[in-house]
Structure 1
Amino acid sequence: MPSPSRRPHPRESPPPDDRRRRFEDVYAANRARILGYALRRTDDPQDAADVLAETFLTAWRRLDDVPPGDQARLWLYGVARRVLANHHRGERRRSALAADLGSRLRDGLAVHDTSGDDLTVVGAAFRGLPESDRELLALVGWEGLDHGEIATVLGCSRNAVRIRLHRARRRFARALARVEADAPGTSAHATPLHAAPLPATGRRIPNGDPT
């Protein structure tokens, strides 16, 4: 008895070529930003490359979950954030050579300006913040995300982002004031918070709602 003709399943996966093309489009559109995100949060460029690879491996495995358009970038930031968290939890002490290489790369990526000591003071204040505050301010200053986009990356509400960002900016302002008070020979006219660039970048922290 001949077997009945096969009926297509209503939710069959797309052909392999279509799937590969979509992944390639997502990769091409977002690779640079995800690599920059990783480079700014690791000491070794090889670690950043590993984060990039793991993020897009996850995207390939879960391609059906990757949203379309600009939402894909936010989805990838969320994945990269979790990959980095796992990396930092299992991180071992790096060799002096690797640490030096990471430092050289960060210096090469930095946008230098004439702020001199002011930039050093801002960097010290930023590094003294809790990790959650640094990540929140970095998503604004480095990645250029607005409140809604940050909410998507962090998996919380827009209002929660607004409140947390307000508190983070206040803590940053207090930390900046403390560092300036302790630093010898700092100018009496401190760099205002709304004009202070984050460390190793020319992006500025918005003073108001970035939306």
Structure 2
Amino acid sequence: MSNVSDFNACMTIFWQQHEPELLRFLVSKTGDEEKAADLLQELFLRARAHSDHFCEMENPRAWLYRAARNLLIDEYRSAREIVELEEDTLLSDISPDAISTLNVCLPETLQALPEDERWLIEESDLNRRPQQALADELGISLTAFKSRLLRARKHLKEAMTELCQIEADDTSPVCCHKKMT
């Protein structure tokens, strides 16, 4: 029984030494003295829950700051405003039409490419065959294969832009889809 008492005394003394700096830390992070005081109280309860081995920790001060940061994270997560979306805004009619149109357009566009470029894209991108194996099959280096594949993809993109009315922007290979008329 004296061991538990010794550990509680150790934790209590340690707490009293570091309580003011912990409070300053929490106030600096929350900007609210009342909220910081509440978090400090919760931190004390967590420390008290670990009092039986608190002073055996390698660095109890670091543990307190880690626990304080975790409390701040929990507080932030619970305070975030959750915006409910109406069911009809979750799925718009635009996306399915664009995707189904592209599903039709891609095979047609592939057929419009020269046979060697179509084969490269189908085998590498659609069938996901290893590029080295495809290069070996063609009897060319991996670098030459990658160059041909890049050129084929560029031609596919150009053809899709024209035939499927796809627009690209700087951040994404596909930005927008104009509905085909």
Q: TM-score range, shorter-chain basis?
A: 0.3 to 0.5
Looking at secondary structure, tell me which structure has more helix per residue: 2
Q: TM-score, normalised by structure 2?
A: 0.39
Larger radius of gyration: 2
Larger RCO (alpha carbons 8 Å, 6+ apart): 1
